[in-house]
């Protein structure tokens, strides 16, 4: 994918920006929407108003071809991360790349191998990149100093998941994959792992499901701008829930991503659930300027209230009490332009009170 020489660039347009690099001059696509995705997958019979259920059966690291028995992953403390303007030395802005190794015989954890501080790199077409602002810039390792971390004793537990899972939104044809929204996208919630299900509202004919942005691990917040980025292989089952009386009550009216694990519901929201509609013609740039955790929490509160009232046929006052006592609200990410807040509530809270049986068509 990232083969690039002065004579040849395997994938020219890297992102949802203009092909002629007219905004920043960084390269075709401008680096907007940097994720490598599989899709779109056309779901027969899917129409706007329906719900798509994606079940993650298995997710596994993709082994290295060059180093048998190993897989590798990377994390970048990046310029778009929460930490960049709050370093201990405020005058020394820096980005740091850390490379991790996974032993495929026991892929339950990743260990750091080495790190280096980014130095300005000149790409094969002669453009200088002072920061990591464009996908796939070849790094001249003679210009960076490696710090050996192999003896650090640190181990990062596996939380394998795909950070970006989206159906096509109705509002735009060319969409930056970085800010998530009602259609899913760059959700970056580690709970969407093997055994979990993600429900997304269908907005266009065929749904057009795309998946990518493999993460070996990530914590809530994604505080330095990235997860533990890793090439993954996943097995999924896609089911279609048609709108109407046959649709389970807990999915009716769903207008944002909903995650189901074996024991919990996770209601996902963002600062702007539908930024493509609500922020006007410049939505894909303005979302980066207007997102706040306060907005994301308010939307998560509203969506959680609606979900529990509808799924379990409870009154608002009953639900408000339950939410304050048993729903954990957490910051999903502050790295993706449209900040995320999720609410997690265990199914055991509702005891014998069952939600409607689901009706799905594979």
H or E segment to which residue 37 belongs: strand 37-41
The pLDDT of residue 2 is 86
Residues 335, 255 share a domain = yes
pLDDT tops 50 at residue 358 = no
Distance CA 100, CA 115 (A): 9
- Can you tell me the mean pLDDT for 299-303? 98
Decide: residue 288, CB within 10 A, 0-12 exposed, 13-18 middle, 19+ buried: middle
pLDDT tens per residue across span 67-126: 999 999 999 999 999 999 999 998 889 999 999 999 999 999 999 999 999 999 999 999
Residues 248, 149 share a domain = no
pLDDT tops 50 at residue 269 = yes
Considering the domain boundaries, does residue 13 fall inside one?
A: no
Q: Cα(first)–Cα(last) distance of the chain, in Å?
A: 32
For the chain, the domain total comes to 2
Residue 99 token pair: 């490379």
The pLDDT of residue 362 is 55
Distance CA 165, CA 169 (A): 12
DSSP letter assigned to residue 141:
G
Residues 295, 281 share a domain = yes
Residue 109 token pair: 């954890």
Sign of CA dihedral 305, 299, 338, 206: positive
Residues 133, 73 share a domain = yes
Q: Mean pLDDT score of the chain, rounded to an integer?
A: 95
Distance CA 41, CA 63 (A): 25
Distance CA 346, CA 322 (A): 11
Confidence of residue 1 (pLDDT cuts 50, 70, 90): confident
The pLDDT of residue 91 is 84
Q: Which of 136, 157, 178 is the last residue of a domain?
A: 157
Residues 91, 65 share a domain = yes
Residues 192, 90 share a domain = no
Residues 65, 55 share a domain = no
The pLDDT of residue 328 is 98
Domain that holds residue 52: 43-59+168-213+235-350
Residues 327, 187 share a domain = yes
Neighbours of 281 (CB within 10 A): 7
Considering the domain boundaries, does residue 280 fall inside one?
A: yes
Distance CA 239, CA 270 (A): 25
Confidence of residue 355 (pLDDT cuts 50, 70, 90): low
pLDDT tops 70 at residue 357 = no
Q: What percent of the chain is modeled with pLDDT above 70?
A: 98
Phi first, then psi: give them for residue 183, nearest 5 degrees.
-85, 5
Q: List the CATH number of the domain containing 176.
A: 3.10.28.20
Q: Which residue has the higher pLDDT, 90 or 300?
A: 300
Strands 209-217 and 161-166: antiparallel
Beta pairing partners, 259: 198, 266
pLDDT tops 70 at residue 250 = yes
Residues 246, 128 share a domain = no
Q: Which of 137, 157, 177 is the last residue of a domain?
A: 157
Residues 75, 202 share a domain = no
Considering the domain boundaries, does residue 228 fall inside one?
A: no
Residues 135, 96 share a domain = yes
Phi first, then psi: give them for residue 297, nearest 5 degrees.
-65, -40
Considering the domain boundaries, does residue 229 fall inside one?
A: no
Predicted TM-score (pTM) of this structure:
0.95
DSSP secondary structure letters along 38-96: EEEEP-TT--TT-EEEEEEEEEEEPPPSSSTTEEEEEEEE-TTSTTTT--SSTT----E
Distance CA 126, CA 233 (A): 35
Considering the domain boundaries, does residue 27 fall inside one?
A: no
Residues 324, 190 share a domain = yes
Q: What percent of the chain is modeled with pLDDT above 90?
A: 91
Q: Which of 129, 157, 185 is the last residue of a domain?
A: 157
The pLDDT of residue 4 is 96
């Amino acid at each position: 994918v990232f083969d690039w020489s002065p004579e040849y660039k395997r994938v020219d347009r890297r992102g949802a920006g203009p092909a002629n690099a007219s905004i920043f001059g960084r390269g075709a696509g401008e680096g907007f929407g940097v994720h490598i995705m599989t899709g779109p997958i056309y779901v027969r019979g899917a129409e706007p108003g329906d719900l798509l259920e994606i079940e993650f059966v298995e997710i596994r690291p993709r082994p290295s071809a060059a180093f048998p028995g190993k897989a590798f992953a990377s994390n970048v403390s990046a310029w778009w991360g929460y930490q960049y303007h709050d370093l201990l030395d405020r005058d020394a802005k820096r980005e740091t790349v850390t490379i991790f190794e996974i032993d495929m015989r026991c892929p339950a954890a990743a260990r750091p191998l080495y790190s280096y501080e980014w130095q300005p790199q000149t790409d094969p077409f002669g453009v200088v990149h002072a920061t990591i602002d464009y996908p796939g810039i070849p790094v001249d390792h003679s210009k960076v100093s490696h710090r050996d971390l192999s003896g650090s004793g640190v181990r990062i537990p596996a939380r394998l998941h795909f950070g970006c899972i989206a159906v096509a939104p109705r509002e735009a044809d060319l969409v930056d994959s970085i800010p998530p929204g009602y259609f899913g996208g760059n959700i970056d919630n580690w709970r969407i792992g093997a055994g979990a299900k993600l429900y997304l509202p269908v907005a266009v004919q065929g749904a057009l499901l795309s998946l990518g942005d493999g993460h070996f691990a990530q914590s809530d917040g994604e505080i330095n701008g990235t997860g533990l980025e890793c090439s993954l292989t996943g097995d999924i089952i896609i089911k279609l829930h048609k709108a109407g009386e046959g649709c389970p009550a807990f999915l009716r009216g769903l207008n944002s991503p909903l995650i189901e694990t074996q024991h919990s519901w996770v209601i996902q929201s963002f600062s702007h659930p539908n930024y493509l509609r609500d922020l006007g013609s410049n939505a894909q740039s303005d979302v980066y300027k207007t997102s706040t955790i306060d907005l994301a929490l308010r939307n998560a509160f509203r969506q959680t209230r609606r979900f529990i009232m509808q799924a379990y046929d409870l009154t608002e006052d009953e639900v408000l009490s339950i939410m304050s006592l048993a729903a954990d609200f957490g910051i999903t990410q502050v790295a993706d332009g449209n900040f995320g807040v999720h609410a997690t509530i265990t199914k055991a809270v509702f005891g014998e009170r069952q939600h409607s049986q689901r009706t799905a068509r594979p």
